[in-house]
């Protein structure tokens, strides 16, 4: 593929009939405007945010009372309030449709598969809703779940939201302390667990961990049957009850929804927690709903009945994002377990058999498929697939090329970036614009995204901080246990006054796209020049000898030197010849400044539960500083590989 040509260009039908094109035309008529192109539409969506978000509400048919005011105090980010007079219920909007068509389709590796129709989902939510009310759970109470990505998890979240409770979840692979570090802060009124789960073909036992956490939380524990003995587990917990027993006394009846203010808390999500106890980030029902409707309907082009899939656990915000697909009438395809069991084709088997329209995953997964020698384009019928999204870390230019060469030649590839902080995306896909190799297509509608230098000035053609300069609906309501808002302000507003600084090191492209070069707190500064770690990974991880890499800056002789750790492919050794080849690749593909001072082979690289490598934790270990919350890691033992290395003493 030629580097000066786009990888994908929307066809005439997409340009005319995609939901975002229809929305633009609708807004022109509704507000008496004329938009020359998408960029003009985006500019209006930021300048007239009250009108824009009102348009999203109306065009998407949000259920609720909107009120007369769309935005107050809009020029002060921390004081802005969207739809201050509105009343709505999140679950009511996701459960608007009934019928016998599929709402949820589930696979648990090769062990379990089943599906819920829309009527069956509504029926289960009704019974759960009644059971929650009977237990005295209602507005503002927290429901905390340590659950796999099951249909029942979606149903429980919807039931909690329907009564105005606040939902918080993590995956069952979290350790005991990791669960308590999260749920112990928020005082749940109900703890929801499974009786085991499948991973890599093996049943994973959770009984001892569940009992220990339940004993500390000291609240009723609801055990959902999946991969173990739910009755035995529930019987061994004070206040334990199985899901069948929890709802046994209730028959399905018409759902009742508690309509609450737009800013009423819906979710508590958690920061990764690798630099301390996780921050509890509270998101509103209204902000989450509007932002997700916008992203699903207009940026992803989702239509009623289409299959939406994201490979995620319940401990990653992409699970919350996926769940909202119900609001546009999509069918959610859920998978729990290893994406490589029984082999690397399992997710593509799922995609082909259920005819995914949207396939969401991580950049690491795409790279693993490429390095595994898989070519789904030649082995699977992916004719229904029109959009593939990637997030979690920057997708390399080679990853972009592989999608078109090895997965599907005519798919729209949307690299997306945002995070737990906004339970959505700052920059993402756009069905009306081309896809260029290595670039995110552009900013989200209604979001005043920019790149600023250290002096707080917008920059083009150079790297800087990703910022958002105007308030938006999915900003957190607050942090839990932060009554004065000090932690909230410190997290996003310390760097620039009245401007959200997201912590990504980014750059505008000549095409109006964005490149994310990594987290700005992990950028390297050799000789005072800022270098994004992704720029190094994009080079070295394309080499077949290297399975994975992690890069840090080591304080050295009143400066910083670049240290590159590599996990090598099976059977490969880090010889002087390979080290030189890595340096040459980085020097020619990036720049001489990117070349590491040291290259060190390690057996494993630590990562979070959602698969992100933890550069800051490794940097702390190398410098002899404690890592405050190892429970946030999927493989905390890997940190020991980086402690006291002789190679870093000279």
Specify the pLDDT at position 522: 79
**What is the Cα–Cα distance from 354 to 308, expressed in whole angstroms?**
10
Residue 178 located in a structural domain: yes
**Within its chain, how far is the Cα of 64 from the centroid?**
27
Q: 116 pairs with which residues across the strands? A: 104
Phi, psi (5° rounding) for residue 421?
A: -60, -35
Residue 444 located in a structural domain: no
Q: Is the pLDDT of residue 236 over 50?
A: yes
Specify the pLDDT at position 560: 85
**What is the Cα–Cα distance from 287 to 157, expressed in whole angstroms?**
17
**What are the distances in angstroms from CA 107 to CA 118, 226, 354, 469, 561?**
18, 12, 11, 41, 46
Q: Is the pLDDT of residue 360 over 50?
A: yes
Place of tokens 């190094």: 536
Region 537-548 average pLDDT: 92
**What is the Cα–Cα distance from 204 to 212, expressed in whole angstroms?**
16
Q: Are strands 190-194 and 221-224 parallel, antiparallel or unpaired?
A: parallel
Q: Residue 32, Cβ neighbours under 10 Å: how many?
A: 7
Specify the pLDDT at position 178: 86
Residue 575 located in a structural domain: yes
Region 463-488 average pLDDT: 96
Mapped onto helix, strand or coil, the DSSP state of residue 250 is coil
Question: The tokens of 3 are what?
Answer: 């580097």
Residue 451 located in a structural domain: no
Could you say which of 294, 327, 360 is where a domain stops? 327
Which letter does DSSP use for residue 608 in this model? Answer: B
Which residues, 6 or more positions from 371, have their beta carbon under 8 angstroms from its beta carbon? 544, 547, 569
Confidence of residue 275 (pLDDT cuts 50, 70, 90): low
Buried b vs exposed e over 360-398: b needs ≥16 C-beta within 10 Å? bbbbbbbbbbbbeebebbeebebeebbbbbbbbbbbbbb
Specify the pLDDT at position 519: 83
CATH of the domain at 569: 3.30.300.30
**What is the Cα–Cα distance from 88 to 93, expressed in whole angstroms?**
8
Residue 544 located in a structural domain: yes
Give the number of C-alpha atoms closer than 13 A to the C-alpha of residue 506, restricted to the C-beta side: 29
Report the sign of the C-alpha dihedral through residues 609, 550, 521, 515, in that order.
Answer: negative
CATH of the domain at 161: 3.40.50.12780
Which residues, 6 or more positions from 26, have their beta carbon under 8 angstroms from its beta carbon? 55, 59
Q: Which helix (H) or strand (E) holds 508?
A: strand 500-508
Q: Is the pLDDT of residue 429 over 70?
A: yes
Using a pLDDT cut of 90, give the percent of the chain over it: 87
Specify the pLDDT at position 282: 98
In terms of Cβ atoms closer than 10 Å to its own Cβ (0-12, 13-18, 19+), residue 527 is: exposed
CB 35 within 8 A of CB 456: no
Which letter does DSSP use for residue 381 in this model? Answer: -
Residue 7 located in a structural domain: no
Q: Which helix (H) or strand (E) holds 346?
A: helix 346-354
Which residue segment(s) compose the domain that 146 sits in?
91-303+320-327
Place of tokens 């009143």: 558
Buried b vs exposed e over 219-256: b needs ≥16 C-beta within 10 Å? bbbbbbbbbbebbebbeebeebbbbeebbeeeebeebe
Residue 377 located in a structural domain: no
- The string of DSSP codes covering 196-248 is -EEETTEEEP-HHHHHHHHHHH-S-EEEE-SSS-HHHHHHTSTTEEEHHHHHT
Confidence of residue 534 (pLDDT cuts 50, 70, 90): confident
Specify the pLDDT at position 2: 52
Residue 410 located in a structural domain: no
Write out pLDDT tens, residues 284-333.
Answer: 999 999 999 999 999 999 999 999 999 999 999 999 999 999 999 999 99
Which letter does DSSP use for residue 79 in this model? Answer: T
Question: The tokens of 634 are what?
Answer: 């999927």
Specify the pLDDT at position 633: 86
Region 394-413 average pLDDT: 96
**What is the Cα–Cα distance from 262 to 82, expressed in whole angstroms?**
8
Which residues, 6 or more positions from 330, have their beta carbon under 8 angstroms from its beta carbon? 296, 302, 303, 304, 305, 306, 307, 308
Region 3-31 average pLDDT: 95
What pTM value is reported for the model? 0.90
Report how many domains make up the chain. Answer: 2
Confidence of residue 580 (pLDDT cuts 50, 70, 90): very high
Which residues, 6 or more positions from 356, have their beta carbon under 8 angstroms from its beta carbon? 307, 308, 309, 333, 350, 382, 384, 385
**What are the distances in angstroms from CA 417 to CA 7, 286, 332?**
20, 21, 21
Region 260-264 average pLDDT: 98
**What is the Cα–Cα distance from 280 to 480, expressed in whole angstroms?**
5
Specify the pLDDT at position 1: 45
Angle between helices 576-589 and 533-540 (to 10 degrees): 120
Which letter does DSSP use for residue 394 in this model? Answer: P
């Amino acid at each position: 593929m030629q580097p000066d040509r786009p990888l994908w260009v929307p066809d005439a039908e997409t340009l005319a009939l995609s939901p975002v094109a229809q929305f633009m035309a609708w807004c022109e008529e509704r507000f008496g405007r004329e938009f020359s192109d998408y960029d003009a539409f985006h500019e209006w969506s930021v300048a007239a945010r009250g009108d824009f978000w009102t348009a999203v509400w109306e065009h998407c048919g949000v259920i609720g009372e909107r009120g007369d005011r769309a935005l107050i105090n809009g020029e002060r980010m921390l004081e802005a309030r969207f739809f201050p007079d509105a009343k709505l219920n999140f679950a009511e909007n996701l459960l608007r449709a009934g019928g016998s068509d599929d709402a949820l389709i589930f696979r648990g590796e090769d062990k379990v598969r089943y599906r819920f129709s829309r009527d069956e989902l509504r029926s289960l939510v009704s019974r759960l809703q009644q059971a929650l009310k009977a237990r005295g759970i209602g507005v503002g109470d927290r429901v905390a779940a340590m659950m796999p990505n099951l249909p029942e998890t979606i149903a429980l979240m919807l039931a909690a939201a329907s009564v105005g409770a606040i939902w918080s979840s993590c995956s069952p692979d979290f350790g005991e302390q990791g669960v308590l570090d999260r749920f112990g802060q928020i005082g749940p009124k109900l703890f929801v667990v499974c009786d085991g789960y499948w991973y890599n073909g093996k049943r994973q036992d959770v009984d001892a961990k569940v009992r220990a956490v339940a004993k500390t939380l000291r609240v009723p524990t609801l055990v959902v049957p999946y991969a173990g003995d739910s009755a035995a587990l529930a019987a061994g917990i004070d206040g334990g009850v199985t899901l069948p027993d929890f709802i046994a006394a209730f028959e399905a009846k018409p759902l009742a929804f508690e309509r609450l203010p737009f800013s009423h808390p819906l979710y508590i999500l958690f920061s990764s927690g690798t630099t301390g106890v996780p921050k509890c980030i509270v998101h509103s029902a209204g902000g989450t709903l509007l932002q997700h409707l916008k992203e699903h309907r207009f940026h992803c082009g989702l239509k009623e009945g289409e299959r939406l899939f994201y490979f995620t656990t319940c401990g990653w915000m992409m699970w919350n994002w996926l769940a909202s697909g119900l609001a546009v009438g999509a069918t959610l395809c859920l998978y729990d377990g290893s994406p490589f069991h029984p082999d690397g084709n399992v997710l593509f088997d799922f995609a082909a058999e259920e005819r995914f329209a949207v396939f969401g995953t991580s950049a690491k997964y795409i790279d693993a498929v490429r390095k595994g020698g898989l070519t789904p384009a030649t082995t699977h019928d992916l004719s229904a697939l029109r959009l593939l999204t990637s997030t979690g870390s920057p997708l390399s230019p080679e990853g972009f090329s592989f999608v078109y060469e090895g997965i599907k030649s005519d798919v729209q590839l949307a690299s997306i970036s945002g995070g737990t902080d906004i339970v959505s995306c700052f920059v993402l896909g756009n069905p009306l614009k081309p896809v260029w190799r290595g670039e995110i297509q552009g900013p989200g509608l209604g979001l005043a995204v920019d790149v600023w230098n250290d002096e707080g000035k917008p920059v083009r053609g150079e790297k800087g901080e990703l910022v958002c300069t105007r308030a938006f609906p999915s900003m957190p309501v607050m942090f839990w246990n932060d009554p004065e808002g000090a932690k909230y302000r410190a997290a996003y507003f310390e760097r620039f006054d009245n401007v959200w600084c997201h912590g990504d090191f980014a750059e505008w492209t000549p095409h109006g796209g964005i490149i994310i070069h990594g987290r700005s707190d992990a950028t390297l500064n050799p000789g005072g020049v800022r270098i994004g770690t992704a720029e190094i990974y994009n080079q070295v991880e394309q080499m077949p000898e290297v399975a994975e890499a992690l890069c840090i800056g080591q304080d050295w002789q009143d400066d910083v030197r670049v240290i590159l750790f590599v996990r090598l492919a099976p059977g490969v050794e880090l010889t002087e010849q390979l080290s030189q080849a890595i340096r040459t690749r980085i020097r020619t593909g990036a720049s001489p400044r990117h070349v590491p001072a040291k290259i060190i082979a390690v057996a494993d690289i630590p990562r979070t539960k959602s698969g992100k490598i933890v550069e800051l934790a490794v940097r702390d270990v190398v410098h002899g500083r404690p890592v405050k919350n190892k429970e946030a890691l999927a493989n905390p033992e890997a940190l020991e590989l980086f402690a006291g290395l002789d190679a870093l003493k000279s």
